[in-house]
Amino acid sequence: MKKEQVVNCQFSVWYPLFKKHTIKSLILPIPQNVIDYLFDDGTLVVSGSENNSSQTQTNNSDSDEEDVQVCVCQFPDFKIRVQEAINVLGGRVFPKLNWSAPRDANWIALNSSLQCQSLCDIFLLFKSSDFITHDLTQPFLHCSDDSPDPTINYELVLRKWSELIPGAEFRCFVKENKIIAISQRDYTQHYQHIAKQEDSISSAILEFFRDHIQYQFPDEDFVLDVYRDSSGRVWLIDFNPFGEVTDSFLFTWEELTSGKNLTANQTQEDTALQEGPAFRYTTSEVTVQPSPCLSYRIPRDFLDLTTGEDAYKLIDFLKLVSEMGIKTTETRTSVEKERKLSHRLHSCT
C-alpha cells in the first residue's frame, strides 16, 4: 500500500466525486488549537455552561495527575461553525476525522451511540477513540514507500445521522478496478436474508459499482463500503485503502493479495456485468461472535465499581481490599465506610 492510496481515501478527496451516491455530509477544517487539544492526552472533555466558562466543573479527584479541563467554550468560533453544520444536517450527526469514525468509543457516550448533537458529544468520542488517535498519529502505518509523509489537513466530517441496518452493509475489495470479493460487514452476526437474497445483493452491488464507481475513483485498488437499503438501492458509505489497515472481515489479506481466484459461493447470473466476485457471509448462528469493538471497552466490573451500579460488587471489592490487609491501620475505617456505603447504596435502591 502506497501513501498516495491512503491520501485518496480521505473523506474530502472522494466526497465531492460521489456526493450523489452517499449520505449528505459537511466537511469542516479543524483549527490548530483544536487539533492540539485532540492530540493532548491530559485533557478532559467538559461541556461547562453554554455561555459562561466559569461554570466549568472542577476536578475533585484525589489523583496526583492534574488533568487540565478544557471547555468547548474555549473554541467559540469552531463551536458555532460545528453547531450550524449540525443544524443543517437535521440536528443529529455521525462524526468522522479524515478516515475514521470513533467506532471504538461508542460505549463512553451517554446514548452508547455515535450519534452527536453538539461539539461536546463529538469531543468526548474523539478523545476516547484509538481509531481517531490512529488518524492523528500514524495514518501511513503499513505503507511500503519511503517518501516523506504527505501533509494532512485535518478535517471534521459530519454526516447526517442515518439509521443503518447492520445486515445491509457490505465491504467490497476492488483490485485493478474490479470487485474481487464482497464480505458481509457485520460478520459477527448471522442474517438469514443474506443467504436468501445472495444473488440480488451481489448483482445490485456490481451494478452500482459499474455505473458509479468503476474508473472514477483516483486509484485502481481500494476497498469500498456500501449499504443496500430496503428498496434495494445501493449507497456508498466509505472508501478505505486496499491493505492491512483495512479490516478484511471474512477474507484474509493473504487471500486478497495472492492474485489467486477466490472461491465464490454463488452463481452470478448476469455474467455480462463482471465475473462473479467471491461473496462471503456468516452462514450459521453457531458462528456468532462478540463485537470486535468490545475489546476497546473497559471491563464491566470496573465500570460497575466506579459508578456504584452494582452494590454487591462494590461490597465484595471492599471486602477483598480489607482482607488483603491493604493499609491495615485503616481497615476498621474502611469496614466502617463499607457498612455506611452499603447502607447508603441499599437505601438508594
- Nearest approach in angstroms of CB 98 to ligand ADP is 10
User: 304: which residues sit within 8 A by CB, 6+ positions away?
Assistant: 310, 313, 314
Q: Least distance from C-beta 246 to ligand ADP, angstroms? A: 9
Look at the block and give the residue holding cell 474555549. Answer: 74
* Size of residue set near ligand ADP by CB under 6 A: 18
**CA distance from start to end of the chain:** 56
Q: Which stretch binds ligand ADP (CB under 6 A): 156-164, 173-181, 189-197, 277-285?
A: 156-164
Contacting residue, 75, 78, 94, 187, with ligand ADP by CB under 6 A: 94
CB 181 within 8 A of CB 277: yes
Residue 103 interacting partner from Mg ion, ligand ADP, none (CB closer than 5 to 8 Å by kind): ligand ADP
**Residue from the set 159, 190, 228, 280 that interacts with ligand ADP by CB under 6 A:** 159
Interface of this chain with ligand ADP, residues 71 to 90, rule: CB under 6 A? none
CB 223 → ligand ADP: shortest distance, Å?
10
Q: Which does 159 bind (CB under 5 to 8 A by kind): ligand ADP, Mg ion, none?
A: ligand ADP
All cell numbers assigned to 32: 490548530
Q: Give the integer Cα–Cα distance in Å for 140 and 91.
A: 33
CA dihedral over 138, 139, 145, 151, signed as positive or negative: negative
Selection from Mg ion, ligand ADP, none that 237 binds (CB < 5 to 8 A by kind) is ligand ADP
| 186 touches 291 (CB < 8 A) | no
The amino acid that residue 189 corresponds to is Q
HSE (side-chain half, CA atoms, 13 Å) at 72 = 21
Q: Are 308 and 345 in contact (CB under 8 A)?
A: yes
What's the min distance (Å) between Cβ of 239 and ligand ADP? 9
Give whichever of 162 and 177 is closer to ligand ADP, judged by the CB atom: 162
For the bound state, the minimum distance from the C-beta of residue 260 to Mg ion, rounded and expressed in Å, comes to 26
5, 98, 100, 202: which one contacts ligand ADP (CB under 6 A)? 100
Tell the smallest beta-carbon distance from residue 216 to ligand ADP (Å).
19
Can residue 236 be called a binding residue for ligand ADP (CB under 6 A)? no
| Measured torsion, CA atoms of residues 252, 256, 257, 261, in degrees rounded to the nearest 10 | 130
Span from 32-40, 153-161, 200-208, 292-300 in contact with ligand ADP (CB under 6 A): 153-161
In sequence order, the β-bridge partners of residue 116 are 93
User: H or E segment at 25?
Assistant: strand 25-29
CA 174 to chain centre: 22
Q: Which of residues 166-205 bind ligand ADP (CB under 6 A)?
A: 166, 169, 185
In this complex, which beta carbon is closest to ligand ADP, that of residue 70 or of residue 97?
97
C-alpha cell at 217: 475513483
Q: Does 225 bind ligand ADP (CB under 6 A)?
A: yes
Torsion-angle region of residue 181: left (phi > 0), alpha (psi -120 to 50) or beta? Answer: beta
Q: For residue 44, give the 3-state DSSP assignment.
A: strand
Rule CB under 6 A: say whether 237 interacts with ligand ADP.
yes
Joined grid coordinates for residue 22: 452517499
Mask for 14-33, x = binds ligand ADP (CB under 6 A) = ---------x----------
- Between 239 and 279, CB nearer to Mg ion: 239
Q: Which residues bind ligand ADP (CB under 6 A)?
A: 23, 94, 96, 100-101, 103, 131, 159-162, 164, 166, 169, 185, 225, 237-238
